[in-house]
Amino acid sequence: MVKVLHLALFATLLISFATSDESGTSGGSDQSDSSDSGSKPLGKSKENKKHEVSNDIDCDEPNPTNKCTCDFTDGLRNLNSLYCNACQQSIFLQWEQQIESSILVNINWTVAQRIILVYYSYQKFAQSNPDIDSILKYKSIKSYGLNLFLVKDLQSVAYSFADETIASTILLDGSNNCNLFDALRSAANSCGASTTTSATTTTSGGSTTPSSCSGSTTASSGGSTTSGGSTSGGSSTTSVGSTTSGVSSTTSPTPSTTTSAPLNCSSLSSNVNVLISQITVILQNVNLTTSSQLVQIYVLLNNFFIANPGSQSLFFSVQISGFYSIQSFFDVSFKRTGDGGQSMSRRSSSLSCGVENGLM
């Protein structure tokens, strides 16, 4: 009897210790706000962030002057006034106003489309203005409880949205064709007709002009979008269907191409056909998960861009039906490489084979 009492007392002590330890851990998270220090605070799950930012990009009310007031834009303006100098504030404000008028006010686009457009627009802005990006990338757009939504988190949220439907782009039909192949052929066919003809050409409309802020440059059209391989300058928007979104293109940091070599349009179509044949072999492999297929396709695309200098910017601007741009496909596929291609559970056999099972 005494032994039983001792065991019960010991168990009670263990439960009490565990409870106090968890309380101490959660209490410590109250101090995780390190937005001023430059380090990255703990964040909420991607799903929570997606839900919260989805609510925050909705404009408070329709505005005929193409202005959007919402929690997201309020947060961006607050960041700008808190951390940027006068010159940087002017440049950042121009970008913020541009995404309002060309992206956020467009209620015909889904939340996912708008978030992805904003992300790629910011990527282009960050490349042109690295000094501003270095200041803001770890700053809080808005606090959610104890955690922060960061400028840098735009990437994870955008990729997560795109990841939801990326499998639909590689579903083979009875003719061994898929939406990704159509986009690749479209890009090759647009070679020569597009304004992008060499590796030195920018991937979306708008030139860059030097600014007076620490030698940075500012894009004249920070959020211009592209459609069907042709670029459009100014603050024009992309024609988007119910499921297809245009995405402002930026140069991916992964492939390395020769910047001085012109794009050889004469051989591009035949090279794309070879690429499609290689991808088809991957999609027909029933032993591969969708993640593994995407990782291997990423490798083939990366090698293709290296072997065909100047092609990357041309291809990145082209849209995939039912999805976003080839760049978005490339970026999300690259993200899968970080998981070794094993992070996703095995899809159904019809999807693993790439057999058409209804587009998402």
Average pLDDT estimate for 257-267: 68
CA dihedral (238, 241, 242, 243) positive or negative:
negative
Tens of pLDDT along 72-108? Answer: 999 999 999 999 999 999 999 999 999 999 999 988 8
CA dihedral (230, 236, 240, 246) positive or negative:
positive
Q: Which range, 106-120, 182-196, 289-303, has the best average confidence (pLDDT)?
A: 289-303
Neighbouring-strand partners of residue 148? 143
Q: pTM score, two decimals? A: 0.66
Task: Locate all alpha helices (DSSP H) within the chain, ordered by sequence.
Answer: 2-28, 46-56, 71-83, 86-99, 111-128, 130-136, 153-163, 179-189, 265-283, 290-307, 311-316, 326-337, 349-352
Domain chopping of the chain, boundaries: 43-162+213-240, 165-203+249-360
| Kind plus residue range of the DSSP H or E element containing 148 | strand 147-150
Q: 273, 150 in Cβ contact below 8 A? A: no
Q: What is the dihedral of CA 217, 219, 223, 226, to 10 degrees?
A: -120
Q: Given pLDDT bands bounded at 50, 70 and 90, which one contains residue 149?
A: confident
**What CA–CA distance (Å, rounded) separates 106 from 102?**
7
What integer pLDDT is reported at residue 306 of this predicted model? 96
**What CA–CA distance (Å, rounded) separates 262 from 359?**
37
